[in-house]
Amino acid sequence: MSVCPDCGAALQTPLVCEGCGALQLISGTPSPFEVLGLVRGWKVDAAELGRSLLRLTRLTHPDFHGVHGDKARELAERNTALVNGAYSTLNDEVLRAEWLLADMGAPSPDEERQMPQQFLMEVLEWNEVLEEVRAEKGQDNHSRLDGLRTDLQAQRATSLERLGQRLEAVDPGDPQTLRQELNTVRYLDRTLNELDELALEQSSTRSA
């Protein structure tokens, strides 16, 4: 663990010393886990994450360091942005998984677009339901949409749990397979958003 050059205290984050409050000038971009002083991994304690955000936001706030001049304020703004970016990444399960996959050298979404083969048949069935609902304008498809939403949410939870277990394993396995699993989660998120839009459209049509 590195130490603060000003006071010699151990640095919990590379951005600021929590002992004397001195901002740290760093080269490169630290990982979101390093920024927030957390252990790298899939599982993140939400309460600890929130505490880290509040503590570091306060310590790096530009208004606190602006009295030391423009350079100090600029550094504070940069470090505050790193804190907020790290929090956004780790607070979102999909973005956290994206970061971990990229860090282990897995293919990007553009390099690997496939999803697990066993998932594709279910995709066809869901798409069929969506197309039927779109074709039945003016009809009450509330129960069908609710049922489909429940299925999609359950599948998302299962896929995300399976991905998380593999990311926590000592040997997570083939990075390409991990990417395909995350593609599944992203597909489900897009379909759930589409489902919400369709439900709103159907509701507007009935009330018109």
pLDDT digits (tens, 9 = 90+) for 120-144: 888 888 888 888 878 876 666 778 8
The yes-or-no verdict on residue 203 having pLDDT over 80 is no
- Find residue 23's DSSP bridge partners: 16
Between 189 and 199, the higher pLDDT residue: 189
Rg of the chain over CA atoms, in angstroms? 23
Share of the chain above pLDDT 70, in %: 94
113 C-beta neighbours (distance < 10 Å), count:
11
CA distance 78 to 74: 6
CA distance 6 to 36: 21
Note the maximum CA span of the chain: 70
Residue 70 binned pLDDT confidence (cut-offs 50, 70, 90) = confident
pLDDT for res 63: 83
pLDDT for res 121: 85
5 C-beta neighbours (distance < 10 Å), count:
11
Q: What pTM was computed for the model?
A: 0.88
- Please give the torsion angle defined by the CA atoms of residues 58, 93, 190 and 186, in that order, rounded to the nearest 10 degrees: 130
| Averaged pLDDT, 1-18 | 91
Please classify residue 123 by burial: count the beta carbons closer than 10 Å to its beta carbon, then call 0-12 exposed, 13-18 middle and 19+ buried.
middle
pLDDT for res 28: 83
